[in-house]
Structure 1
Amino acid sequence: MIIQMLTNEYWYGGCVSEGTRMPVGPGDHERISLEMNSTPNQAMPLFLSSKGRYLWRDRGFAIEFREGAIHCPDDVIVESGFETLRGAYLAAMKSHFPFQQMGLSPVLWDKPIFNSWIEFTFHQKEDDLLRYAADIIHNGFPPGVLMIDDGWSEYYGYWTFHSGKFANPKRFIQKLHDMGFAVMLWVCPFITPDTVAFREARKMDLLVKNQDGKPFITEWWNGYSAVLDFSNPQAVAWFDRQLQQLRELGVDGFKFDAGDSLYYSNNNVTFGNVTPDEHSRLWAEYGTKYALNEYRVTFRAGGYSLFQRLCDKEHSWGTKGIGGLIPDSLAQGITGHPFSCPDMVGGGEYLNFMELEHAGLDEELFCRHSEIACLMPAIQFSAAPWRVLSPESLKIIQHHLELRSTFAAQRAKALRTAVTEGEPILRYMEYQFPGEGLEKITDQFMLGDRILVAPIYTKGAESRNVAVPRGSWLFDGQVIISQGETMKLTPPKGVPVILELQI
Structure 2
Amino acid sequence: MQAKFLENEFWYGGAVYESYKQPIGEEDSVEWDFRENPTANQIMPLFLSTKGRYIWSEKGFQIQFHKGMIQAEGDCEILLKEGYDSLRGAYLEAMKQHFPFHEIRLSKRFFEAPVYNTWIEMTFYQEQNRILEYARGILEHGLPTGILMIDDGWSPYYGKWQFRKDNFPEARKMIEELHKMGFQVMVWICPFITPDTVEYRETRDKHLLIETPEGKPRILEWWNGYSAALDLTNPKALEWLKGQLDVLQEMGIDGFKFDAGDSYYYTEGDRLYKKANTDELSRLWAAFGEQYAFNELRVCFKTGGYSLMQRLCDKHHTWDERGIGGLMPGMLLQGLTGHPFGSPDMIGGGEYLSFQENSGECFDAELFVRYCEIAALMPVMQFSAAPWRLLGKEDYEKVLAAMKVREKYLPVLLETVQYAYETGEPVVRHMEYVFPGQGMEKTMNQFMIGDKLLVAPVMQKGVTSRMVQLPRGMWKLEDRILESNGEEWSLNSEKGLLVLEKIEK
- TM-score normalized with structure 2 length: 0.98
2:142 aligned partner: 140
C-alpha distance after superposition, 1:253-302 (max 9, x if no partner): 00000000011011211111110000000000001110000001011000
1:149 aligned partner: 151
Aligned equivalents of 1:354 and 1:103: distance in 2?
37
1:18 partner SS: helix
1:270 partner SS: coil
Structure 2 residue corresponding to 1:432, chosen from 431, 434, 453: 434
Aligned CA RMSD, in angstroms, stands at: 1.0
Which structure 1 segments of 5+ residues have no match? none
2:291 aligned partner: 289
* 2:404 corresponds to 1:402: yes
1:445 aligned partner: 447
Aligned equivalents of 2:98 and 2:362: distance in 1?
47
C-alpha distance after superposition, 1:23-55 (max 9, x if no partner): 000000010221100100000000000000000
The Cα of 1:167 is off from its aligned counterpart by: 0.7
Q: Which amino acid aligns with 1:27?
A: E
Aligned equivalents of 2:41 and 2:20: distance in 1?
14
Aligned equivalents of 2:52 and 2:343: distance in 1?
28
Aligned equivalents of 1:60 and 1:241: distance in 2?
33
Q: Which amino acid aligns with 2:428?
A: L
C-alpha distance after superposition, 1:330-377 (max 9, x if no partner): 010000000000000011011344378342521100000001110010
2:48 aligned partner: 48
Aligned equivalents of 2:260 and 2:168: distance in 1?
24
Residues 1:91 and 1:239: Cα distance change in structure 2 (over 3 Å) = same
2:454 partner SS: strand
Aligned equivalents of 2:356 and 2:51: distance in 1?
45
Structure 2 residue corresponding to 1:382, chosen from 381, 384, 389: 384
2:231 aligned partner: 229
* 2:252 corresponds to 1:250: yes
1:416 aligned partner: 418
1:407 partner SS: helix
Q: Which amino acid aligns with 1:26?
A: E
2:264 aligned partner: 262
- TM-score normalized with structure 1 length: 0.99
Superposition misfits of 4+ residues, deviation over 6 angstroms:
none
Q: Is this contact kept in 2: 1:347–1:353, CA < 8 A?
A: no
2:71 aligned partner: 71
The Cα of 1:416 is off from its aligned counterpart by: 1.2
2:165 aligned partner: 163
1:359 partner SS: coil
1:462 aligned partner: 464
2:498 aligned partner: 497
Q: Is this contact kept in 1: 2:353–2:359, CA < 8 A?
A: no
The Cα of 1:421 is off from its aligned counterpart by: 0.7
1:59 aligned partner: 59
Aligned equivalents of 2:106 and 2:394: distance in 1?
35
Aligned equivalents of 2:490 and 2:393: distance in 1?
30
Aligned equivalents of 1:356 and 1:307: distance in 2?
34
Aligned equivalents of 2:225 and 2:150: distance in 1?
21
2:373 aligned partner: 371
2:156 partner SS: strand
The Cα of 1:169 is off from its aligned counterpart by: 1.4
Q: Is this contact kept in 1: 2:148–2:186, CA < 8 A?
A: yes
Residues 1:360 and 1:55: Cα distance change in structure 2 (over 3 Å) = closer
1:178 aligned partner: 180
2:3 aligned partner: 3
Aligned equivalents of 1:153 and 1:233: distance in 2?
24
Q: Which amino acid aligns with 2:6?
A: L
Which structure 2 segments of 5+ residues have no match? none
Aligned equivalents of 1:360 and 1:44: distance in 2?
34
The Cα of 1:393 is off from its aligned counterpart by: 0.8
Aligned equivalents of 1:464 and 1:479: distance in 2?
18
1:30 aligned partner: 30
2:359 partner SS: helix
Q: Is this contact kept in 2: 1:400–1:495, CA < 8 A?
A: no
Q: Which amino acid aligns with 1:351?
A: L
Q: Which amino acid aligns with 2:15?
A: C
Give the paired residue count: 502
Structure-to-structure mapping, 1:195-214, within 5 angstroms: 195-214=197-216
Aligned equivalents of 2:418 and 2:503: distance in 1?
21
Q: Which amino acid aligns with 1:24?
A: I
Q: Is this contact kept in 2: 1:228–1:235, CA < 8 A?
A: yes
1:161 partner SS: coil
Q: Which amino acid aligns with 1:67?
A: K
Q: Which amino acid aligns with 1:497?
A: L
Aligned equivalents of 1:88 and 1:13: distance in 2?
12
Aligned equivalents of 1:63 and 1:427: distance in 2?
25
Structure-to-structure mapping, 1:69-148, within 5 angstroms: 69-73=69-73, 75-148=77-150
